[in-house]
Each structure stands twice: as structure tokens, then as C-alpha cells.
Amino acid sequence: MIIKYKLKLILKPQKATPTPPIAPILGQYGINLINFCKQFNELSKNIESDFIHVKVLIFQNLEYKIFLGLESLTNFIKNKIGIEKFSNKPGLINKNFINFSMINQISIYRNNFEKKKICSVRKMILGTLISIGMNYE
């Protein structure tokens, strides 16, 4: 089968409904939204995180395949450190500190799932920390 479209979404597991934001994105490609939501909710029924990355491959005959990914890096950091909210003004007001050993733990965990070098994963984590207003030492 020939892949016609590749979509990347961030969705809540077990909570997909055929309403916005899913409906406008998938509706323009002619996907049956009710079937998609049922299939996604069934696939993600054992996942406990807040948001996960989802890839959808749409083929020429309008069949599709759903691939579930990891939870987003910001949610993973939030759960790992135990904070409720990040800084409203990153760069100006930095709230929390994280040490380098915690960054190493996160990078080793993420490196098991992402096919990148460990230094690239660390750079990605440091960039995310800067963008959410956290300092590291």
C-alpha cells in the first residue's frame, strides 16, 4: 500500500472523541472519525500518561494505521520532578532547578525509545528545560 499522508498528533489516551481538535484534522482526509476514536481508545486503554504522541499513516484507499508513541517530554519531566506548573514567563522567571544526574536519568530513559545519540537526547532535554523555564545545574 502506498502512504498518502503522515500525521503527527498529541492526544490524551482513552479520551478521543469525534469533536475538535481531532475532527477537523482527520476529517479533511476523509477518515471515519467514530471508528478512529474507537480504535485509538482501544489501543491506548493501558496507558496512564497525560498526553502521548500519535502517528497516523493514511494510505491511498483511505485506510489508516495508528502508531502510539511516548508521552511528551514536558509531561514526563513534570511527573518525574513532581511539579504542577511550569513558569509563565520562561527566560524571565525561572522557577525550579534540576540537577545533571536527573537529566542523565531522563536522557537514558528516553534514549531507549528514540533512535538518537545520547548527546542529541540530552540537548533535546536541555532545550525543553529552557523553553519551560527551568534552570539546571
Each residue's pLDDT expressed in tens, for the chain with a length of 137 residues: 899 999 999 999 999 999 998 999 999 999 999 999 999 999 999 998 888 999 999 999 999 999 998 888 888 888 888 887 777 777 677 667 788 888 888 888 887 777 788 888 888 888 888 888 888 77
Q: Are residues 11 and 61 in the same domain?
A: yes
What is this structure's pTM? 0.75
pLDDT of residue 74: 84
- The answer to whether 103 and 136 have CB atoms below 8 angstroms apart is yes
DSSP character at residue 22 = H
The one-letter amino acid code at 98 reads I
Q: Are residues 7 and 65 in the same domain?
A: yes
Q: Are residues 86 and 48 in the same domain?
A: no
Compute the distance between CA of residue 53 and CA of residue 30 in angstroms, rounded to an integer: 21
- The answer to whether 9 and 36 have CB atoms below 8 angstroms apart is no
Supply the range of the domain harboring residue 16.
3-70
Q: Are residues 23 and 51 in the same domain?
A: yes
pLDDT of residue 12: 93
Q: Are residues 58 and 82 in the same domain?
A: no
For residue 64, give the CATH number of its domain. Answer: 3.30.1550.10
Q: How many domains does the chain have?
A: 2
